[in-house]
Structure 1
Amino acid sequence: MKVAIAGAGAVGRSIARELIANVHAVTLFERNAAHVDQAAVPEAEWVLADACELSNLERAELQTYDVMIAATGDDKANLVVSLLAKTEFAVNRVVARVNDPRNEWLFGEDWGVDVAVSTPRILASLVEEAVSVGDLVRLMTFRQGQANLVELTLPPNTPLAGKPVRKLALPHDAALVTILRGGRVIVPQSDDPIEGGDELIFIAPAEIEPALKEALELH
């Protein structure tokens, strides 16, 4: 996969290293020459240019990229980069960093954002997830499809204990993607039994979250 990253600060460089480790081709855009440090991520292609400028993205042939990640420390810049990537170059997947949670409402389809990642929001969700049993916790929103990644920790005395996954009467648009059990990550199979204390990770649209709770017998 070919990935462009706008912003080569600590966040951008860390993302680049992870993607390169997973055998993806990465190009880092950085407008500040003082922040260009090719030795920090030698496997990446570095471009000294402002990713908010259309002409710079044209020279880089952004239309040939699969993903654009707007990872600067400036929300306005991330929105401009996202909009250009989606509307001018039809980049299939646009991921944007949200620095100020008050701006999160802007990071949606209207600005070309498929996935908005807010570090404060994720940290708050993880705190909720650690203390909330029997409540749905929204971990991430996938804007393009208006679906959410949600987590629910079953109580130890759940009436679902021992029931196989195939017997869960889940709403039509909800998908169980992972079961976290102790130190294990389980990709659920139809015959896998549910246990009390399981952390269930779903993808589901917001409007069916109440029905999802009801299906899991959490009232």
Structure 2
Amino acid sequence: MKVAIAGAGAVGRSIARELLSNSHEVMLLERQLDHIDSSAVPGASWVNADACELDNLEQAQLQTYDVMVAATGDDKANLVVSLLAKTEFAVGRVVARVNDPRNEWLFDEAWGVDVAVSTPRILASLVEEAVSVGDLVRLMTFRQGQANLVEMTLPPNTAFAGKPVRKLDLPRDAALVAILRGGRVIVPQSDDPVEGGDELVFIAPAEVEEALREAILNL
């Protein structure tokens, strides 16, 4: 997979290293010359260019890339990069970093954003997830489909313990994608049993989250 990353600061470089370790092709776009350091991320292609400029993205042949990651420290720049990537170059997947949570509402499909990643929100969600049993916690929003990644930790004494996944009466469009049990990540099959203390991870539209929470609590 070919991935372009706008912004070669600490966040952009970390993303690039992770992608390269998984054998993806990575291009880093950085407008500040003193931030260019090819030795910091060996294997990546470095381009000294402002990713907010259409001509620069054309020269970088952005249309040949599968994913654009807008990872600068400036929310305005990340929105512009996202919009250009989606509307001018038809990049299939656009992921944008949200620096200020107050701007998160802007990062939607109208600006070309498929997935908005807010570090403060993720950290807050992880805190909630760590202390909340029986509550539905939103971990991430997938803007293009208006769906959310949500988690619920089952109470230890849940009456559903031992029953198979197929017995879960989930609302329409909600899907169980993983069960976290101790140190294991279980991809659920219909006959897999649910146990007290399990962390259930779902993808669900926002409008069915309350119905999902009630369905799990009423197990």
Take 2:49 and 2:210, find their aligned partners in 1: how far apart are those partners? Answer: 47
* Letter in structure 1 aligned against 2:87: T
Residue 8 in 1 paired to residue 5 in 2?
no
2:205 corresponds to: 205
Asked if structure 1 preserves the Cα contact closer than 8 Å seen for 2:134 and 2:217, the reply is no
1:113-163 per-residue CA deviation (whole Å, 9 max, x = no partner) reads 000000000000000001110000000000000000000000011111111
Counterparts of 1:82 and 1:37 in 2: how far apart (Å)?
24
Q: Displacement of 1:218 after TM fit? A: 4.5
How is 1:113-132 mapped onto 2 (pairs within 5 angstroms)? 113-132=113-132
2:97 counterpart residue number: 97
Aligned partner letter, 1:42 = P
Instruction: Tell me the amino acid that sits aligned with residue 2 of structure 1.
Output: K
| Aligned amino acid, residue 135 of structure 2 | D
Q: What secondary structure is seen at the aligned counterpart in 1 of 2:169?
A: coil
Contiguous gaps of at least 5 residues in structure 1 = none
Instruction: Please state whether the residue corresponding to 2:63 is helix, strand or coil.
Output: helix
Aligned length: 219
8 A contact 1:114–1:143 mirrored in 2:
yes
Checking the alignment, whether the CA contact within 8 Å between 1:159 and 1:217 is kept in structure 2 is: no
User: What's 1:61 paired with?
Assistant: 61
Q: Distance in 1 between matches of 2:90 and 2:62?
A: 9
Confirm whether residue 41 of structure 1 aligns to residue 50 of structure 2: no
Give the C-alpha shift of residue 39 in structure 1: 0.1
1:210: Cα distance to partner?
1.3
Once the two structures are TM-superposed, the CA of residue 172 in structure 1 deviates from its matched residue by: 2.1
Cα distance in 2 between the residues matched to 1:113 and 1:67: 11
1:42 & 1:162 partners in 2: Cα distance? 49
Describe the superposition over 1:83-112 as per-residue Cα deviations: whole angstroms up to 9, x where unpaired: 000010010000000000000000001110
d(CA) in 1 for partners of 2:183, 2:27: 35
Deviation at 1:183, TM superposition (A): 1.0
Going from structure 1 to structure 2, the CA distance change for 1:108 and 1:72 (only over 3 Å counts) comes to: same
Q: Distance in 2 between matches of 1:94 and 1:128?
A: 27
| TM-score normalised over the length of structure 2 | 0.98
Amino acid at match of 2:158: T
Equivalent in the alignment of 2:163: 163
Aligned to 2:187: 187
CA shift at 1:176, angstroms? 0.5
User: If the length of structure 1 is used for normalisation, what is the TM-score?
Assistant: 0.98
Q: Percent identity?
A: 83
Distance 2:141 2:90 in 1: 21
Instruction: Provide the aligned C-alpha RMSD in A.
Output: 0.9
1:160 touches 1:216 (CA, 8 Å); kept in 2?
no
Runs of 4+ in 1 over 2 A off after TM superposition: none
Q: Secondary structure at the match of 2:157?
A: coil
Q: Which amino acid aligns with 1:66?
A: D
Following the alignment from structure 1 to structure 2, what is the Cα–Cα distance between the partners of residues 165 and 218? 15
